[in-house]
Amino acid sequence: MNAYGRQLFTALRFLLCATLLLGLAYPVLVFGLGQLVAPAQANGSIITTGGQAAGSSLLAQPVTGTAYFFPRPSAVGWDPATSSATNLGPNQVALVEAMDKSRTEVADRENVDPSTVPIDAVTTSGSGLDPDISTAYAALQVPRVAAANGLSDEAVRALIVKSTSAGVNAFLGQPSVNTTTLNAALADVKKSATGLRE
């Protein structure tokens, strides 16, 4: 076999080994570890309501009306295909105007003074898809959500506690409330109440 043939054979053996190792063994290993260590996260962190998939706890969902908790504003309309931020800086007029508009909308919706609206209620996240809000923003929405669903404020606050990150999950920041899991729990409570009335 000449030198060219030996080089070609070596390259083909390397390609075969790399394909088996990186294209088969490694993905199977990572998938298997994911299923053992963190199956929920490995499978998309899917949450259910009424026994059916309702979304991922990692992604915010748009909210309309008064019955559910609003996430942070989204620069991409909550479209995971176009995840991004506004790319506006703190000194840009467009950002200040957008924040002022959002602050007025939130204050009107929650029937509060604009000065009490938390900053995360008027600013987008880096991804535009973050489902987490501050505990202050969640608390601000309690009276509206409770009234719209015929629940007590205490019952709604109990749901908030169940969707609040704490301990290790909040290690790098303050506790936050996941609006996607919170709204799914709220939907389950509404369905249960409807079933009881029937």
Pair (107, 26) in one structural domain: no
Pair (70, 105) in one structural domain: yes
Pair (109, 152) in one structural domain: yes
- Longest Cα pair distance anywhere in the chain, in angstroms? 85
- 144 pLDDT higher than 80: yes
- 93 pLDDT higher than 70: yes
Give dist(CA 69, CA 164) in Å, integer.
13
pLDDT: is 83 or 182 the higher one? Answer: 182
Total tally of structural domains belonging to the chain:
2
Give dist(CA 191, CA 163) in Å, integer.
19
pLDDT in tens, 152-179: 999 999 999 999 987 666 666 789 999 9
The predicted model gives 167-195 an average pLDDT of 80
- 196 pLDDT higher than 60: no
- 198 pLDDT higher than 50: no
- 92 pLDDT higher than 80: yes
Pair (49, 129) in one structural domain: yes
Pair (49, 29) in one structural domain: no
Q: Interior CA angle at 40 toward 20 and 180, to 5°?
A: 135
Pair (26, 93) in one structural domain: no
Pair (100, 39) in one structural domain: no
DSSP the chain: --HHHHHHHHHHHHHHHHHHIIIIIHHHHHHHHHHHH-HHHHTT-EEEETTEEEEETTS-----SSSS------TTTT-GGG-------TT-HHHHHHHHHHHHHHHHHHTS-GGGS-GGGTS--SSS---EEEHHHHHHHHHHHHHHHT--HHHHHHHHHHTB--GGGGTTS--EEEHHHHHHHHHHHHHHHHHHH-
Pair (185, 90) in one structural domain: yes
Q: Which domain holds residue 189?
A: 45-197
Asked whether the beta carbons of 135 and 175 are under 8 A apart, the reply is yes
For position 35, what pLDDT does the model report?
A: 86
For position 1, what pLDDT does the model report?
A: 67
Pair (36, 54) in one structural domain: no
For position 71, what pLDDT does the model report?
A: 95
Pair (37, 73) in one structural domain: no
pLDDT in tens, 27-81: 999 988 888 888 777 777 888 777 777 788 888 888 988 999 999 998 888 777 7
Pair (116, 189) in one structural domain: yes
pLDDT in tens, 104-128: 999 999 999 999 999 999 998 888 8
